Amino acid sequence: GQQLNQSPQSMFIQEGEDVSMNCTSSSIFNTWLWYKQDPGEGPVLLIALYKAGELTSNGRLTAQFGITRKDSFLNISASIPSDVGIYFCAGQEGAGGTSYGKLTFGQGTILTVHP
């Protein structure tokens, strides 16, 4: 099946620093999404990307859909303590593919922010 490789696995940063994480895939996805998961809760959608090359921002978060449709990155600027959590990328095939909306998730990036 399709696999997403997400890196880094974990990051320890100081408050105020910028953060970057990325996902790569051996196969094409037509939609890339970034979710954040806090302990004991479900994934919460941060950014959805639908078009190759698209760059989208949501506050301090910026994500890009790679031109090849096989990768995506997420940047967090000026990190704050509440950014702590696990960040997941997820890919979706989209219409015309062999799946019906199924999300394939990366392994997650654990972010720790020191005040």
Which residues sit at the interface with another protein, rule CB under 8 A?
A: 30-31, 33, 35, 40-45, 48, 50, 88, 90, 92, 94-95, 99-108
**β-strands 109-114, 85-92: how paired?**
antiparallel
Compute the distance between CA of residue 115 and CA of residue 102 in angstroms, rounded to an integer.
Answer: 37
Pairing of strands 31-37, 55-58: unpaired
Q: How far is the CB of 100 from another protein (least distance, A)?
A: 4
- In three-state secondary structure terms, 81 is helix
Nearest to another protein of 79, 109 (CB atom):
109
Least distance CB 16 / another protein (angstroms): 29
Which residue lies nearer to another protein by CB, 75 or 94?
A: 94
